[in-house]
């Protein structure tokens, strides 16, 4: 059909009072998350359902990925519309930190707003005798997928504690669930995981065998020298058998989009996200820590204009 004939048909339909919505192109929203055993994924699924229902013409999908670093590179390439990512990874992406997995500054990235904090959860088979960071020397550990947000966290924390991968007996670069399975099978001694509280993989491990949670002291956090790394606490009884609170590192997660997403779509994504926090909290308890009052503050890159519109209308900016 020629453009002229199509315009003529649309005019005729409008004159007859027939909706022309069928001619509108769908709005594709691909949500980039992480491994299916982590926290990003169930939150992404919940958002996909919300957007699919409440954004007219939206075609939504959820993509399981290696999380922060991969998500940010995919956004830069226009292969997603919304992603969750760790704040330190976002800062490195904006600057173009090659060691963190970014070959050049990812200048198309735009913030939608803050999410919940990740906590560094360093857990070990109790029989391995690992009670402190120093006890990791000579042990077998998994630190997350190579150049993932988790692995960047592991490198920074070990360096601040005066350790390196060379000090370990074995280092595996595996996602959450695979790391836990190797500990269960006594093929690994410990795993460092960066995630929201109550993550499925550690719940599974804690229900299977006795484990130790290794604390990350405040003096080690201070030596990292990155404002994204803040002291945090895993409350007692977050996991089975964990009867004392654990002092560790907290790092803010962010919702990120990119400049090629339309202002209207970004506005609707932001509004529906922060107006459906109860539903996100039902998808995973970690999302209950999302606070819209502070979501637009202290971000390491610019807000998307659509997100900025929402925060201004809500009186939160």
- The tens digit of pLDDT for each residue in 149-189 reads 899 999 999 999 999 999 999 999 998 899 999 999 999 99
Whether pLDDT at 10 is above 50: no
Average pLDDT over residues 98-123: 96
Q: Are 57 and 21 in contact (CB under 8 A)?
A: yes
Average pLDDT over residues 106-119: 97
What is residue 65's predicted lDDT score, i.e. its pLDDT? 93
Q: Are 30 and 61 in contact (CB under 8 A)?
A: yes
What is residue 21's predicted lDDT score, i.e. its pLDDT? 44
Average pLDDT over residues 199-210: 95
- The percentage of residues in the chain with a pLDDT greater than 70, rounded to a whole number, is 92
Query: Predicted confidence band at 145 (pLDDT cuts at 50, 70, 90)?
Result: confident
111 three-state secondary structure: strand
What is residue 81's predicted lDDT score, i.e. its pLDDT? 98
- The percentage of residues in the chain with a pLDDT greater than 90, rounded to a whole number, is 85
In 181-282 the beta strands, taken as DSSP E runs, fall at 190-195, 211-213, 230-234, 246-258
What is residue 146's predicted lDDT score, i.e. its pLDDT? 84
What is residue 191's predicted lDDT score, i.e. its pLDDT? 98
What is residue 3's predicted lDDT score, i.e. its pLDDT? 45
Mean pLDDT of all residues belonging to the chain: 92
Rounded CA separation 122/108 (Å): 34
Query: Predicted confidence band at 24 (pLDDT cuts at 50, 70, 90)?
Result: low
Beta strand 246-258 with 109-125: parallel, antiparallel or unpaired? antiparallel
- 119-251 under CATH 3.30.70.20, yes or no: no
> Does this chain's domain 27-116+253-313 share its CATH topology with 119-251?
yes
What is residue 77's predicted lDDT score, i.e. its pLDDT? 98
Whether pLDDT at 286 is above 80: yes
Rounded CA separation 133/120 (Å): 13
Rounded CA separation 284/271 (Å): 19
Which one is predicted more confidently, 6 or 112?
112
Which one is predicted more confidently, 88 or 4?
88
Query: Predicted confidence band at 19 (pLDDT cuts at 50, 70, 90)?
Result: very low
pLDDT tens, residue by residue, 213-272: 999 999 999 999 998 999 999 999 999 999 999 999 999 999 999 999 999 999 999 999
What is residue 174's predicted lDDT score, i.e. its pLDDT? 93
pLDDT tens, residue by residue, 289-311: 999 999 999 999 999 999 999 99
Rg of the Cα trace of the chain? Answer: 22
Instruction: For domain 27-116+253-313, give its CATH number from 3.90.1150.10, 1.10.390.10, 3.40.190.10, 3.40.50.1820.
Output: 3.40.190.10
Q: CA nearest 155: which of 205, 211, 101, 219?
A: 101
Q: Are 186 and 125 in contact (CB under 8 A)?
A: yes
Rounded CA separation 27/60 (Å): 8
Whether pLDDT at 17 is above 60: no
């Amino acid at each position: 059909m020629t453009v002229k004939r199509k315009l003529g048909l649309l005019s005729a339909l409008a004159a007859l009072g027939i909706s022309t919505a069928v001619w509108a192109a769908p709005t594709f929203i691909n949500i980039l998350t992480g491994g299916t055993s982590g926290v990003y994924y169930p939150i992404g699924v919940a958002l996909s359902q919300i957007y699919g229902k409440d954004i007219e013409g939206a075609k939504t999908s959820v993509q399981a990925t290696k999380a922060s670093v991969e998500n940010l590179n995919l956004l830069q390439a226009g292969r997603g519309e919304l992603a969750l990512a760790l704040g330190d990874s976002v800062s490195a992406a904006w600057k173009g930190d090659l060691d963190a997995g970014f070959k050049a500054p990812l200048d198309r990235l735009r913030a939608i707003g803050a999410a919940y904090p990740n906590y560094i959860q360093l857990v070990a088979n109790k029989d391995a005798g690992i009670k402190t960071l120093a006890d990791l020397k000579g042990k077998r550990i998994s630190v997350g997928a190579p150049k993932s947000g988790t692995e960047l966290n592991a490198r920074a924390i070990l360096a601040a504690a005066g350790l390196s991968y060379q000090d370990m007996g074995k280092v595996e670069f595996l996602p959450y669930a695979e790391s836990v399975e190797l500990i269960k099978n006594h093929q690994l001694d410990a795993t460092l995981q960066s995630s929201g509280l109550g993550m499925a993989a550690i719940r599974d491990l804690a229900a299977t065998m006795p484990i130790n949670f290794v604390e990350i002291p405040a003096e080690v956090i201070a030596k990292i020298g990155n404002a994204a790394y803040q002291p945090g606490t895993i409350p007692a009884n977050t996991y089975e058998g964990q009867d004392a609170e654990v002092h560790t590192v907290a790092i803010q997660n962010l919702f990120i989009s990119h400049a090629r997403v339309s202002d209207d779509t970004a506005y609707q994504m932001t509004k529906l996200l922060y107006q459906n926090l109860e539903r996100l909290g039902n998808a995973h308890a970690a999302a209950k820590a999302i606070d819209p009052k502070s979501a637009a503050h202290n971000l390491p890159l610019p807000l998307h204009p659509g997100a900025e519109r929402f925060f201004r209308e809500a009186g939160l900016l």
